[in-house]
Structure 1
């Protein structure tokens, strides 16, 4: 009976489409035009009014595809004739739109999401040849629908972890925070949500990503040739765009799993004019910690939450205002006496406008605050250790579209950043051997101006070139030391101090950052691209760990700590097979990194007023080859990626005591030569799919103590050469099953996801620590958080 109803529905739909094709919309006034007719338009969601970025406009008669811009806009140049336009976007119903072009005109297309899928119907959600025809290198967009097909981590879609499955992108280990992109550190990635930077995008030291996937519209990673409108980081930009609510009707979603739960809502504040979307997510993971064998973790407590709010006002087809708010909070009580916590808060306000058919702009202002603290409540020498970052900025981008293959983008940005590196506060009301201490605050200002020109020459050549000019200033109030010339910088060589007043300039830096790429197409299915990129970074993460942790210290560039300068050149070959069913690429790259930071042996980084005495400048280089094969269509989809890469450091100074590893190149903390990932998703039926993720990588470098000795009555470890050893190789298999039980709108009519992480119980090391043994050097011990198969079950529903 169901099959008969489905066939009847398809027949009715087909008849409806046939009738639509007979009626053609006449575009423009008949003014005698024969050629050069310009049709401009915009594609939006019929329910929310949100612009659909990256939608495909196809003209079958001309064998042409166009992709909508950041405002959902497109432009067609036609001759006077009849055409059957087709509009496609992933997750939306395809629209066949016949027109008769007699003169210049405008289209407004409203698309609606699909209510059902058929196994034998294939719809491209974006231009299937974009990877071939675009001049972009290393720009990867993963839709939320694709992420939902990956095995969830502890019941959740994980944005950061999904990015780590791409070639050239990795994490240093299991449940680690941040990303390492093409040999760069976690601090070399700018992660921004709704245009505002986020300094710690993780929950529970990396077990969860702190972005609720239901609040995310799209995610784009730039890792090769980064557009000039982005600056301030050396390796990559992860741009996360929020999702707007509906301007027509109210709805929502909810999810519950054995580790966390969330709820969201969206709807019109003013019908057809202003929408709101909100969401909240929280954890109840303490039962999981209680099941661990490690006694310290077993007696620990953990909590987190995050929330989002988006208010969108598409006041017209040409103007849209969006306010976004994001917050997250974590606390982790280690063995019941020490609590580590961190908190993000960000606000952004964006205005997008289309001035005319050729020009538009975007203006955005933001405020971000990140606070991190350690509280000790052992009963003896209780204390609070607090730190924080405030980042306030504004950006403006303008574009001018000369024609469909010639576009100019230009603009500028400005930000102020204030750091509180650390303040130690003894607990009140009890005697304590700890004295209060506060590290000097830091203040800096960053600004930049930029332009980018993208154009095509014929069918085969495409080019994008641009320039960014970065300016940076370091300001008081601050007391700055001066040191003896021709002597290593240390407490013992300090000779004087200079006091700078509030807002007084201490040090400035500036630099030109050219960016560009060139594409040559051999055919519609293959091309080669070459690109160059130069980036400046004025903020540094000072840490002796390989990943972001709340105890790390952020530091601005000053007269001793120069900005990092990263030059990267890339070469890639791209080829699609069998009608774009298979997408392949090979990219090679080389990076040169100046002024990267390494720490001296025995460095003290906590509550340090003069970090320049604990650090040494280093040179860095990274190179590699990335292989990528992706299957886009069919019941079995997914990708395979393999990266061979090296990330190396070298420290040579005039002073022998500062030289590391005799001045030879050595592996950085996140050097992992081999990295392999397999992602597979098999659609068993319309309502059921099975997915698998397998990852393998070389173990990261570590430094083991070679001996120990007594000094002042204390037993101390002796370390010789840095990063000469490695942890065991990492590998893990995750499986999941996603299924939907149709319930005709009843409470069980939702999506169920069952997953098993670490299927074969691999004990991958989460961290490394040392245990002292009598008559032997300290022995290295590894802690495996996911040492057993970990099942999770989640249920989500939309209403």
Structure 2
């Protein structure tokens, strides 16, 4: 009897929680239409009204799969018949929706999160065979649901760190800002939020990501064959899409942790027509700094905040406008009375329209500003040092569907970038030994035209090819030096100057960037792909540190600093097992990089009007192999990624004093041959899960002083070969436990999350500095920010 009751319970649970079936609905007006019936719809969350982006719509009778767009919308073209539509989204009950299609019509689907999951219930939040069937290479999308299963960093989901768990993606160390993708520098990644570029995506020097996860829908990283509509950076595109609000009900969310807090709201401004979503996040982290052992950090002060606003107006079934605003701010006051601050502001307006079932257009305009400052208020020689970037542009593309497996896109974009590299302003009203100084502003314009064609030949072959033509102009006003031909570029070899007027063209570059990939499928569960990609980059980060810092200098290409040109070829094998429960891939790649920026030995990069005197051109190359195994379903989910890679540089010029390491190839600042990440999430019960992340990587290269000498009464360090030594290997274990409270839609629905970063107290180095010792070369010491286990607790609710 007990066994019989157990079987009945399992069957009932499977029916009640895994699938929801509704009564067959007649869709459309019966006007005798037999073919070409257009069924459109939108999928939303039953409780919050949020659009479910990336949900899968399946027509089993025709073996058709569709994925919902950024507004949760989908469209099907059917014949007059009966169908059983299936709607799936990860973490939600599957809906079986029987329809009789008699004419064009529209349906609204509301899905509810599952409360109970059996091991044999298969729920996908995307096309489970997309990694096999698509021609995409190196394109990985992480939904927020996936990121929430990772141990939170200081109580929060961290978008940048989540991407760093993927193969071929790394960071140079603990609490490092930015990403290094397949051997590229942090400046070789275009990070854009709602289509607008973000120049510094971090809070507190990299301890936090400056994107509020509750305002983000999903994140896509392109690292191999990058779609032709993207340009301007050499290594990758990180495309972050904001979440739109509900058009039919109001709601919100609140999160509090022991380091920061955030609040959000969303709902209809005009019901069923215009929605709004807003969010704000702020820190109260000074107590944490006060608990550190390092006296400089212990007596420091830090503050940050960020905010988002999205207004979406689907004015019709085929047309939608979306406005997005993003802002972030940081300031960090050292114990020595020096304060560093930086802030981002961006606006974007997007228009999406479908003319018919085959053709549509997307257009976007944006403005973004990044400002960074250093100011001293010690009372002696007070000063402000200010820098900034203004970037605004317009881009648009159209698409045309010849068929479900044959699509062409084409478009154009243009942007203008203005840099203020630095202005030193002494404080007013006091005697100061500091003189004012302003580095010349820079102005450049980038533009490009592009097209891409994706199609399939039968079931075995798929192909995507495209071209992008990039154009760049560098303008005045500017004073440009000329240097003697047979001498290194330096202040001493300058022979004349040319003054260019405002708007006068100084230099121009252009180039054709082909890209393409070919896929051959051995079966429905395995395929092999090969791809090639060429990118041009016209903006450079000038730095002698390994990670992004507010004091770094952004520089446009000019008549001395040529654009970076990156050629990459990739080969990959992809295989899914056991009905797509396991997803595996192996990718190998090789990159050739021209015109990499390196700095001369002893370079002074601050407030340089002619910074070309401190730089040397370099060649770069990177290669590696990436292994990836992911388990999508079951109580235990997660992935393992391993990357073996090398990132190398070579500097050879006609002048011996500029050559680095005797002209031999040497490791770049972010060369880490071995990188391993293990991610696991175990569902203990319906409301409880445990997650863990373990990471290991080779220590990054550094340059130690070989000796010291006295010069004019000063003891100076002597450095010989660059990046010949390495920091200790990095490894760290993080754990988290998540408890869900169920209040049946009441205010007190929420999640408790307890996490411990650096469980066993590994003292991974954040930075390296040197101290002088009598009778010996300067000794290297490391600073570990997270040198002890760091617990955090957070509570979040939705209402």
TM interval, short-chain normalised: over 0.9
In structure 2, do the counterparts of structure 1 residues 15 and 754 end up closer, same or farther at CA, with 3 Å as the change threshold? closer
**Does the alignment pair 1:388 with 2:388?**
yes
Higher alpha-carbon deviation: 398-407 or 45-54:
45-54
In structure 2, do the counterparts of structure 1 residues 404 and 112 end up closer, same or farther at CA, with 3 Å as the change threshold? same
Contact 2:769 2:781 survives alignment (8 Å): yes
In structure 2, do the counterparts of structure 1 residues 638 and 193 end up closer, same or farther at CA, with 3 Å as the change threshold? same
1:112 maps to: 111
Contact 1:38 1:75 survives alignment (8 Å): no
Rounded Cα–Cα distance in structure 2 between residues aligned with 1:288 and 1:410? 51
Rounded Cα–Cα distance in structure 2 between residues aligned with 1:283 and 1:710? 46
In structure 2, do the counterparts of structure 1 residues 101 and 185 end up closer, same or farther at CA, with 3 Å as the change threshold? same
**Does the alignment pair 1:473 with 2:476?**
no
Within a 5 Å distance, the mapping from 1:38-437 to structure 2 comes to 39-45=38-44, 52-69=52-69, 74=74, 76=76, 81-101=81-101, 105-114=104-113, 116-120=115-119, 121-437=121-437
SS in 1 for 2:715: strand
Rounded Cα–Cα distance in structure 2 between residues aligned with 1:516 and 1:582? 27
Rounded Cα–Cα distance in structure 2 between residues aligned with 1:781 and 1:528? 47
SS in 1 for 2:384: strand
Contact 1:40 1:73 survives alignment (8 Å): no
In the superposition, the TM-score normalised over structure 2's length comes to 0.96
Contact 1:27 1:99 survives alignment (8 Å): no
In structure 2, do the counterparts of structure 1 residues 528 and 178 end up closer, same or farther at CA, with 3 Å as the change threshold? same
2:3 maps to: none
Within a 5 Å distance, the mapping from 1:430-579 to structure 2 comes to 430-579=430-579
Contact 2:541 2:555 survives alignment (8 Å): yes
In structure 2, do the counterparts of structure 1 residues 509 and 662 end up closer, same or farther at CA, with 3 Å as the change threshold? same
Shift of 1:336: 4.4
Rounded Cα–Cα distance in structure 2 between residues aligned with 1:632 and 1:534? 33
SS in 2 for 1:20: coil
Rounded Cα–Cα distance in structure 2 between residues aligned with 1:399 and 1:51? 23
Rounded Cα–Cα distance in structure 2 between residues aligned with 1:108 and 1:517? 36
Rounded Cα–Cα distance in structure 1 between residues aligned with 2:68 and 2:740? 32
SS in 2 for 1:176: coil
Shift of 1:114: 2.1
Rounded Cα–Cα distance in structure 1 between residues aligned with 2:87 and 2:598? 52
1:770 maps to: 770
In structure 2, do the counterparts of structure 1 residues 59 and 721 end up closer, same or farther at CA, with 3 Å as the change threshold? same
Rounded Cα–Cα distance in structure 1 between residues aligned with 2:281 and 2:350? 25
In structure 2, do the counterparts of structure 1 residues 746 and 316 end up closer, same or farther at CA, with 3 Å as the change threshold? closer
Cα deviation per residue 1:49-71 (whole Å; 9 max; x = unaligned)? 87654332222234443334566
Contact 2:26 2:101 survives alignment (8 Å): no
Cα deviation per residue 1:86-105 (whole Å; 9 max; x = unaligned)? 12233444332223456x73
Rounded Cα–Cα distance in structure 2 between residues aligned with 1:110 and 1:391? 40
SS in 2 for 1:634: coil
1:676 maps to: 676
Contact 1:131 1:574 survives alignment (8 Å): yes
Rounded Cα–Cα distance in structure 1 between residues aligned with 2:553 and 2:15? 64
Cα deviation per residue 1:739-764 (whole Å; 9 max; x = unaligned)? 02335666653100000000000000
Contact 1:84 1:98 survives alignment (8 Å): yes
The alignment of Structure 1 onto Structure 2 pairs a total of residues equal to 792
Structure 1 runs not aligned, ≥5 long: none
Rounded Cα–Cα distance in structure 2 between residues aligned with 1:12 and 1:536? 54
Contact 1:119 1:685 survives alignment (8 Å): no
Shift of 1:26: 6.5
Cα deviation per residue 1:434-461 (whole Å; 9 max; x = unaligned)? 1000000000001111001000010111
In structure 2, do the counterparts of structure 1 residues 512 and 378 end up closer, same or farther at CA, with 3 Å as the change threshold? same
Rounded Cα–Cα distance in structure 1 between residues aligned with 2:393 and 2:16? 51
2:733 maps to: 733
Rounded Cα–Cα distance in structure 1 between residues aligned with 2:441 and 2:470? 23
1:589 maps to: 589
Shift of 1:79: 5.6
Rounded Cα–Cα distance in structure 1 between residues aligned with 2:409 and 2:22? 42
Contact 2:17 2:117 survives alignment (8 Å): no
In structure 2, do the counterparts of structure 1 residues 308 and 276 end up closer, same or farther at CA, with 3 Å as the change threshold? same
In structure 2, do the counterparts of structure 1 residues 29 and 377 end up closer, same or farther at CA, with 3 Å as the change threshold? same
Shift of 1:30: 3.0
SS in 2 for 1:571: strand
SS in 2 for 1:782: strand
Rounded Cα–Cα distance in structure 1 between residues aligned with 2:683 and 2:487? 67
Rounded Cα–Cα distance in structure 2 between residues aligned with 1:110 and 1:368? 36
1:690 maps to: 690
2:702 maps to: 702
Rounded Cα–Cα distance in structure 2 between residues aligned with 1:500 and 1:92? 62
Shift of 1:595: 0.2
Rounded Cα–Cα distance in structure 2 between residues aligned with 1:330 and 1:532? 39
SS in 1 for 2:183: coil
Rounded Cα–Cα distance in structure 1 between residues aligned with 2:195 and 2:352? 13
SS in 2 for 1:736: strand
Shift of 1:29: 4.0
In structure 2, do the counterparts of structure 1 residues 110 and 747 end up closer, same or farther at CA, with 3 Å as the change threshold? closer
Shift of 1:464: 0.4
In structure 2, do the counterparts of structure 1 residues 634 and 82 end up closer, same or farther at CA, with 3 Å as the change threshold? same
SS in 2 for 1:430: coil
SS in 2 for 1:131: helix
2:795 maps to: 795
Q: 2:23 aligns with which of 20, 23, 26?
A: 20
Contact 2:17 2:114 survives alignment (8 Å): no
2:32 maps to: 30
Contact 1:323 1:349 survives alignment (8 Å): yes
Rounded Cα–Cα distance in structure 1 between residues aligned with 2:328 and 2:19? 48
Contact 1:75 1:404 survives alignment (8 Å): no
In structure 2, do the counterparts of structure 1 residues 657 and 8 end up closer, same or farther at CA, with 3 Å as the change threshold? closer
Rounded Cα–Cα distance in structure 1 between residues aligned with 2:29 and 2:74? 15
In structure 2, do the counterparts of structure 1 residues 550 and 12 end up closer, same or farther at CA, with 3 Å as the change threshold? closer
Contact 1:752 1:794 survives alignment (8 Å): yes
Contact 1:407 1:453 survives alignment (8 Å): yes
Higher alpha-carbon deviation: 484-493 or 49-58:
49-58
Rounded Cα–Cα distance in structure 2 between residues aligned with 1:593 and 1:333? 38
Higher alpha-carbon deviation: 84-93 or 755-764:
84-93
In structure 2, do the counterparts of structure 1 residues 252 and 5 end up closer, same or farther at CA, with 3 Å as the change threshold? farther
Shift of 1:218: 1.0
SS in 1 for 2:176: coil
Shift of 1:487: 1.5
Cα deviation per residue 1:18-60 (whole Å; 9 max; x = unaligned)? 6614x554786435x5xx6454534342678876543322222
SS in 2 for 1:630: strand
Contact 1:768 1:780 survives alignment (8 Å): yes
Shift of 1:251: 1.1
Rounded Cα–Cα distance in structure 1 between residues aligned with 2:390 and 2:28? 54
Shift of 1:513: 0.4
Shift of 1:16: 11
Rounded Cα–Cα distance in structure 2 between residues aligned with 1:629 and 1:80? 42
In structure 2, do the counterparts of structure 1 residues 113 and 148 end up closer, same or farther at CA, with 3 Å as the change threshold? same
In structure 2, do the counterparts of structure 1 residues 50 and 501 end up closer, same or farther at CA, with 3 Å as the change threshold? farther
Rounded Cα–Cα distance in structure 1 between residues aligned with 2:583 and 2:494? 59
1:625 maps to: 625
Shift of 1:539: 0.2
Contact 1:93 1:111 survives alignment (8 Å): no
